[in-house]
Amino acid sequence: MTSPLLAVILGRQGSGKGTQSELIAANYGCIHLSTGDVLRAAVAEGTELGIQAQAVMESGSLVGDDIMVGIVADRLAAADIATNGVLLDGFPRTSEQADGLETILKNNNLAMTVALNVDVPVDVVTQRMLERGRSDDTAEAIQKRLELYDSQTAPLLDWFGARGLLETVDGVGSVNEVFARVSSAIDAHR
């Protein structure tokens, strides 16, 4: 039996990363941990975290690293992660979060399989996001998120690359075409 998948998926907002994440979770049997989904659920439930996160999310800024690392540390400590594996979607987003992740994995005796980078050009993702019209997708928030991706998250590609974990996948094409590329990138690391 192959060991459980422990993967990270990176890509600009609107890259199709969420759709690919669902396909990966379904095909590889791993848990899909989307930090954006965790925060949106907290907002919907009106928890303390949700109250803190809502304005930050609407403006397109990033929620604090300590909060985010804490959320992921709690989830990755559960026994089902070692059994089923996990796909981290939307985390890490900063180098502090990447360092936090390294510590969390070490503490739980887990090893990363692969970091997938779903690559879609800025003009293509901007158009996709304006079309999908989510309530937090104002033109200003979209631009802010894309800028933060380039300044805070894109440097993580080198971080994963230096560890021999990075696989960049062309994210332009149909959902099935992109998933075929994604799964061969995953399989190359197992």
Nearer to ligand AMP, 63 or 180 (CB): 63
CA 124 to chain centre: 19
Could you confirm whether 163 is annotated as catalytic?
A: no
Could you confirm whether 12 is annotated as catalytic?
A: no
Could you confirm whether 93 is annotated as catalytic?
A: yes
| Shortest Å, Cβ 114 to ligand AMP | 18
**Amino acid (1-letter code) at residue 78:** A
Nearer to ligand AMP, 46 or 184 (CB): 46
92 preceded by a cis bond (ω within 30 of 0) = yes
Residues sharing a CB contact under 8 Å with residue 20, sequence separation 6 or more, in sequence order = 9, 116, 118, 171, 175, 178, 179, 182
| Shortest Å, Cβ 29 to ligand AMP | 22
Cα distance between residue 107 and residue 171, in whole Å: 33
Nearer to ligand AMP, 150 or 187 (CB): 150
Comparing every residue's Cβ against ligand AMP, the nearest one is 36
Q: Catalytic: which of 12, 17, 75, 181?
A: 17
What dihedral do alpha carbons 92, 145, 57, 49 form, nearest 10°? 10
Nearer to ligand AMP, 39 or 186 (CB): 39
Q: What share of the chain is helix, strand, coil (3-state, %, to 5)?
A: 60, 15, 25
The number of beta carbons lying within 10 Å of the beta carbon of residue 18 is 18
| Shortest Å, Cβ 66 to ligand AMP | 10
Beta strands in 85-177 (DSSP E): 85-89, 114-119, 166-170
Residues of the shown chain interacting with ligand AMP in the complex, contacts defined by CB under 6 A:
13, 35-36, 39, 56-57, 60-63, 68, 90-91, 93, 97, 145
Cα distance between residue 13 and residue 71, in whole Å: 21
Q: Catalytic: which of 12, 75, 145, 181?
A: 145
Q: Catalytic: which of 106, 134, 163, 190?
A: 134
Could you confirm whether 134 is annotated as catalytic?
A: yes
Could you confirm whether 128 is annotated as catalytic?
A: no
Nearer to ligand AMP, 136 or 161 (CB): 136
| Shortest Å, Cβ 7 to ligand AMP | 15
* Residues tagged active-site: 17, 93, 132, 134, 145
